[in-house]
Amino acid sequence: MGKAVLGVIGGSGVYDLPGLTDLREERVESPFGSPSDTLRFGRIGGTEIVFLPRHGRGHRLSPSDINYRANIDAMKRVGVTDIVSLSACGSFHAELPPGTFVVVDQYIDRTYRRDSSFFGKGCVAHVSMATPVGPRLAARVAEAAEAEAAPVRRGGVYVCIEGPQFSSRAESLVYKAMGCDVIGMTAMPEAKLAREAEITFATLAMVTDFDCWHPGHDVVDVKAVVDVMKDNVERARRVLARLARDFPAEREACPAGSHRALDDAIMTAPGARDDEVLARLDAVAGRVLGR
C-alpha cells in the first residue's frame, strides 16, 4: 500500500498547524487551478503531514469560491493518502452543544454552485458515496479526541449548504427534521472529491453554535462562531498532534474501499476517452488509467 501521508485541511479559524517539524512550504499548481494557499509540509513524530487552510490565510475565500478540486488534486499530487478535514459547524441537538467534536460519518449535499467531480465529458466515472468516511481513520480521530478529553460524538450527519448566508429558520427546522446532526458550508464537495481521488477522508466537525432552530438560543452569527472557535482550535491542534503521533507508517486498507474507489468506476470506453481530460487526471486517477 505504500507509506501513509496525513493531509489536514484547516477550516474557519485554523490557518496554520503549529508544532510541525522540518517545516517547508510549497506552491503546488494543479490542472484544476490554484489551491487555496501554499501547502505546508512537516512531520509530527514519524508521520508526514501536509497542511492546507481551505479559506486561505486571512480567510480570503468564501465556501463557494474555494477551488475544492485544486485542493484535493494538489494533496493527491504530493502523496497524501488520508485527509482529516476540520470544520466549524452548527448543531441540531441540545446534546451537541458548542465545544462538542463530531466525527461525522455521513453527508447531505445541498450545494449547487461548485465543481463536484474531477470526471465528466471525455471521461465519465461514478464512485460510491455510500460510506464516504474511512471507518478506521474516523475511529483514530475519535480515539485521539477522547484521549485529549474533548467531548466527542462518534458519527453524525453533516448537511452542507451553499452559503455564504446562514440558513433561514424554516431551512434549519427542515434539516433537523431530516435527521441532520450538524450543518456547515464546506465538507461537500471535499468528501466527494477525496473519494474520487482514492484518498481516505474524515471530517472533524467542531460545534460552534445551535444554528437558528432553537427558540431559546441566540441565532448564529460570525462573532459567536469565532468566539467558540478560539477555544475549539487549541483542542483540535492537540487532537491532530496525538492522531499524528499514533498514525501508522504504512497506508492501511480502508474497510469502505476508499483506497480503490476507482476500481470499476470509469464508464467511458478507452477509445472514447478525451486525451486532454485524461492528462489532467494523471494524479487523481493515475492508478487506474495507467498514467
Ligand X SMILES: Nc1ncnc2[nH]cnc12
Q: Answer yes or no: 227 catalytic.
A: no
Is residue 160 at the binding interface for ligand X, with CB under 6 A as the rule?
no
Q: Is 117 annotated as a binding residue?
A: no
Pick 182 or 256: Cβ nearer ligand LNRAV4D5: 182
What is the footprint of ligand X within residues 76-135 (CB under 6 A)? 88-90
- Output the nine-digit C-alpha cell for 30: 494543479
Answer for which of 127, 193, 225, 240 binds ligand LNRAV4D5 (CB under 6 A) is 225
Q: Which residues pair with 53 in a beta bridge?
A: 10
Relative orientation angle of helices 187-196 and 68-77, to the nearest 10 degrees = 40
Build a one-symbol-per-residue string for 79-98: x at contacts with ligand LNRAV4D5 by CB under 6 A, - elsewhere: --------xx----------
- Are 182 and 160 contacting, i.e. CB atoms less than 8 angstroms apart? no
Contact pick of 220, 241, 243, 254 for ligand X (by CB under 6 A): 220
Spell out the alpha helix ranges (H) of the chain.
68-77, 135-147, 169-178, 187-196, 222-245, 275-280, 286-289
Measured distance CA(93)–CA(100) in Å, rounded: 11
Q: Are 256 and 134 in contact (CB under 8 A)?
A: yes
Residue 209: name its binding partner from ligand LNRAV4D5, ligand X, none (Cβ under 5 to 8 Å by kind).
ligand X
CB 22 within 8 A of CB 61: no
Question: Is 54 annotated among the ligand-binding residues?
Answer: yes
Selection from ligand LNRAV4D5, ligand X, none that 114 binds (CB < 5 to 8 A by kind) is none
C-alpha cell belonging to residue 119? 470526471
Instruction: Tell me whether residue 209 is annotated as binding.
Output: yes
Annotated binding residue 185: yes
**Annotation marks residue 211 as catalytic:** yes
| DSSP states along 76-145 | HHTT--EEEEEEEEEES-TTS-TT-EEEE-EEEEE--SS---S-BTTB-B----SS-S-HHHHHHHHHHH
- Pick 7 or 184: Cβ nearer ligand X: 184
Which of 184, 233, 266, 281 is the binder for ligand X (CB under 6 A)?
184
Residues 42 to 81: which contact ligand LNRAV4D5 by CB under 6 A?
54-55, 63
Q: Is 109 helix (H, G, I), strand (E, B) or coil?
A: strand
Binding region for ligand X (CB under 6 A) out of 104-112, 133-141, 208-216, 274-282: 208-216
Residue closer to ligand LNRAV4D5 by CB (options 12, 106) is 12
**Inter-residue contact 111 to 189 (CB < 8 Å):** yes
> Residues marked as binding?
12, 54-55, 87-88, 185-186, 209-211
What are the catalytic residues? Answer: 209, 211
